Amino acid sequence: MEIWNKLEEVERTYKEIESRMSDPGVASNPSEMQVLGKKHVELEPLMEAFDEYRKNAREADESRQLIAGETDGEIRALAREELERLDALLPEIERRIHALLLPRDRDDDKNVVIEIRGGTGGEEAALFAADLFRMYARYAEIRNWRAEVLDVSETGIGGYREIAFRIEASGAYSKFKYESGVHRVQRVPVTEASGRVHTSAATVAVLPEAEDVDVEIRPEDLKIDTYRAGGAGGQHVNMTDSAVRITHLPTGVVVTCQDERSQIKNRARAMQFLRTKLYDVESRKQRDAMAAERKWQVGSGDRSERIRTYNFPQNRVTDHRIGLTLHKLDQVMEGDLGELIDALSMADRAERMKDFAS
């Protein structure tokens, strides 16, 4: 009963939003209309499901009345057939309503910053970190999402000790947020002459990009250094002090950016990166508090947790959180992550629905 009371409350809010949007005074205010329009779009699928449920529930009641009061056997048989269909349909709509009532992650619509670091395994781990970057960049490219490198530390043979990059797209965080954790690879290293399969790992951290209003940063809390960038940027990179390192003194968080030739552009990117890092610190505290109340969580973001194994000899990828194994590693490494991401999203939603119902 509590769920239906909640639905009626949401319906009142929805109708109030529609009323305000039709008000000429509000319609002439673009910023208010934008806020109301976004909320209207968010609530619309829930209201459509609620209307669908009530319509089918009324038809089920009418079928029951026909069965109870109709003397014509043929009509009663048709009514029973219709009631069976509706009795099967209504629980499906109810499950959809429950899912739509789940609180949305406030960060789902944000851009995302991803950090990848080579872990255990030396040079092979760095090469795997580069492979993971390429995999995520390909996934973004397939969707016409923009990806840009913020900072990178390369090794001599094309690997990355670490790389930070940004993906600009509405909803990017909702797709990448399940990627945080330790990714393990099993394959014959490029540097291994004997042909033995080795195991190494890389760590992925996924951060929702903060907006200016999310984090307040005081100038006096910053230590800003400039230096000459290194790496594969060409001679110009090493000719000027274009790279920027910013330290947030109260927290000790340090960010660097050297991908641009311009110190001004690198500084602006580094400030945005810092804002995202600080926002992540606060968000993680909240997520940890919520996670403590749950026995299991797909999207915990625990960066020490081994979440996935990539086995190249068997062309196999296994996500250990949900026990999903796919024998198409070659396609996954080319950016075909949809099946993995969808399965993780559905598993997380199912678990949250259990919590919601309890």
Please answer whether residues 329 and 316 qualify as being in contact, where contact means their C-beta atoms are separated by less than 8 angstroms: yes
What residue spans define the domains of the chain? 2-101, 112-213+297-354, 219-284
So what's the pLDDT on residue 179? Answer: 96
d(CA 213, CA 84): 53
Which of 124, 329, 153, 318 has the alpha carbon at shortest distance from 232? 153
pLDDT recorded at residue 235: 39
Q: What is the mean pLDDT of residues 191-214?
A: 84
pLDDT over threshold 70, residue 355? no
Q: Is 122 a residue whose pLDDT tops 50? A: yes
Could you tell me what percent of the chain has a pLDDT over 90? 49
Encode pLDDT of 28-84 as tens digits.
Answer: 888 889 889 888 988 999 999 999 999 999 999 999 999 988 788 888 899 999 999
Predicted pLDDT of residue 1: 53
pLDDT at 332 over 90: yes
Establish whether domains 2-101 and 219-284 are of one fold.
no
Q: Are 182 and 307 in contact (CB under 8 A)?
A: yes
Model pLDDT, residue 85: 95
Residues 6+ positions from 80 with CB-CB distance below 8 Å: 63, 67
Give the integer Cα–Cα distance in Å for 132 and 146: 17
Helix (H) or strand (E) segment spanning residue 12: helix 2-21
Within 10 angstroms of residue 349's Cβ, the number of other Cβ atoms is 14
pLDDT score for 7: 86
pLDDT at 6: 82
Three-state DSSP class for 188?
Answer: coil
Predicted confidence (pLDDT) per residue in 156-173, tens digit: 888 999 999 999 998 899
What pLDDT is attached to residue 64? 94
Q: Residue 232 — pLDDT band, cuts 50, 70, 90?
A: very low
> What pLDDT sits at residue 98?
82
Closest CA to 105 of 42, 181, 41, 54: 42
Render pLDDT for 285-318 as a digit per residue (tens, 0 to 9). Answer: 766 655 554 444 555 445 567 999 999 999 999 9
Tell me what pLDDT residue 289 has.
57
Q: CA dist 56 to 2, 19, 81, 91, Å?
A: 20, 27, 14, 11
pLDDT at residue number 26: 86
pLDDT at 341: 95
Instruction: Enumerate helices (H) and strands (E) in the chain, giving the number of each.
Output: 10, 11
- 8 A C-beta contact, residue 277 and residue 289: no
pLDDT band at residue 147 under the 50/70/90 scheme: very high
pLDDT for 324 equals: 96
Residues 269-281 have pLDDT tens digits of: 899 899 898 988 8
* CATH of segment(s) 219-284: 3.30.160.20
Mean pLDDT for 99-116 is 86
- pLDDT band of residue 254 (cuts 50, 70, 90) is very high
Q: Which of 117-121, 132-136, 257-261 has the lowest mean pLDDT?
A: 257-261
Kindly state the average pLDDT of the residues 108-134. Answer: 92
CATH class of 2-101: mainly alpha
CA 129 to chain centre: 20
Say yes or no to pLDDT of 206 above 50: yes
More confident residue, 192 or 122: 122
The residue count of the chain comes to 358
Q: Decide if 160 contacts 124 (C-beta within 8 A).
A: no
The tens digit of pLDDT for each residue in 234-249 reads 434 445 678 899 999 9
The closest alpha carbon to 130, from 149, 104, 112, belongs to 149
Arithmetic mean of pLDDT over the chain:
86
Res 252: pLDDT: 92
Range 112-213+297-354: architecture per CATH: 2-Layer Sandwich (3.30)
Residues pairing with 315 in the sheet = none
